[in-house]
Amino acid sequence: MSISVGIVGARGYVGAELIRLVAGHPVFELDYVSSRELDGQRVAEHIDVYRGELRYSAPAHEDLPALGADAVVLALPNGKARVCVDAFDAAVSVGKGVDPVIVDLSADYRFDAGWYYGLPELTRDRFAGQRRISNPGCYATAMQLSVAPMLDLLAGPVQCFGVSGYSGAGTTPSDKNDPDALRDNLMPYALAGHIHEREVSTQLGHPIHFMPHVAPHFRGLTITANMPLSRSVARGDVVERYRARYVDEPLVRVLDEAPWVSRIAGRHHVEIGGFTMSGDGRRLVTVATEDNLLKGAATQALQNLNLAFGLDEWTGIPVMENG
C-alpha cells in the first residue's frame, strides 16, 4: 500500500523536515512538493536523504486539487492556507478533484471547530476520522504538555517564559532571524496577546500568559512555566502526576532534572522536567524543551497523518523509550 502526500510550501525549514520524514516513511510517498523559489530543481539537490527524481513545482492554488494526492500538508505562513483549502472545497463541490486529508501547519484553522486540533497526546480521543487537521503551534505544544497534568489544581493564570531558536521566525528576513542582530542577544517580541497564548488558553480552557523571545541558536525551544496551585503539593506527587500522564507517550519524556535546549535539537520528542516547588508547595515551576521544527511542527504533522490513515501513530518517527 502506498499513500501519496503533497507538500505545499516546501522551501521552508519545516517543509524540508517533512520531506525527510515522508521520504523515510514505509507507507507515505511524496507526490509533489511546491516552491516558487525552487521550481524545477531536483528535491534531491536540497534534501540529503531524498533519493528520488522528484522536482519542486509551483502549481497555482486552484490547480492543487487536480494533482490528486491522498494527503496534502500546507506548510505556509499564517494567513495563506485558506486560499488552498477553498480550492479543494470548491473542487469537491463540483465533483472535480480528490478530497484529500489536509494538515495545516499554520494558525489559520486552530480556532475552527470544524477542524481537528492535532495534539495527539492530549486530543487523540477527539479524533473521529476528520479529514481537516490543524497542527498546533510549536510553543503551544510545549506549553500544553507542560501544563495539562496540573489543570485541576491551577489557582490562577499560568506564566510561560519562552525562548526559541531563530528558525521559528521562518525564512522571510527580519531581525528575529538575523544572526547578526541576534548575536549575544535575546530578543523579546509579542509579549502579550501572542497567537500561541490565545491558542493554549483556548485549548486548555485556562488563562495562559506567554512571553516569547528569540535567541541566537538555530533550532530548539524551551518553556519555563510558572503555575500557581490551589493547595500545597509535594514535589514527589507532582513528578508522579507527570510520569503517570505520559507513561504511554513515547514522544514525551519526563525528567527529574531541567532539560537543556541544546540537547533537543534534531530529536522528535518533548522533554519536561526541572520540577521546582515554592516553600509552601503552592507554586510549581516546570521546564520543557522541544525541537520547534520537529515535534513542534513536522513530526507532529506525521503523527496526524498516521492517525488519519489508520496507521500506527508513530510509524516513520524515530521513537525513544520514555525515561
Q: Decide if 138 is catalytic.
A: yes
**Rounded distance, CA 200 to CA 214, Å?**
19
Cell numbers representing residue 209 in the block: 500568559
Question: In whole angstroms, what is the distance from residue 213 CA to residue 58 CA?
Answer: 34
Q: Which amino acid is at 144?
A: Q
Query: Grid coordinates standing for 49?
Result: 536523504
C-alpha distances out from residue 321 to 247, 248, 254, 290, Å? 10, 9, 11, 16
Residue 160 in grid coordinates? 510561560
Beta strands (DSSP E) in the chain are: 3-8, 28-34, 71-74, 101-104, 116-117, 132-134, 158-164, 187-188, 208-214, 221-228, 252-254, 270-277, 283-290
- Which three three-digit cell numbers place residue 110? 486552530
Q: What is the rounded CA–CA span in Å between residue 76 and residue 66?
A: 20
Lookup result for grid cell 499564517: 78
Report the alpha-carbon distance of residue 235 to residue 306 in Å, rounded: 36
Task: Determine how β-strand 187-188 pairs with β-strand 208-214.
Answer: antiparallel
- Catalytic position from the list 8, 138, 200, 317: 138
Place of cell 495562559: 208
Give the residue numbers annotated as catalytic, written as ranges.
138
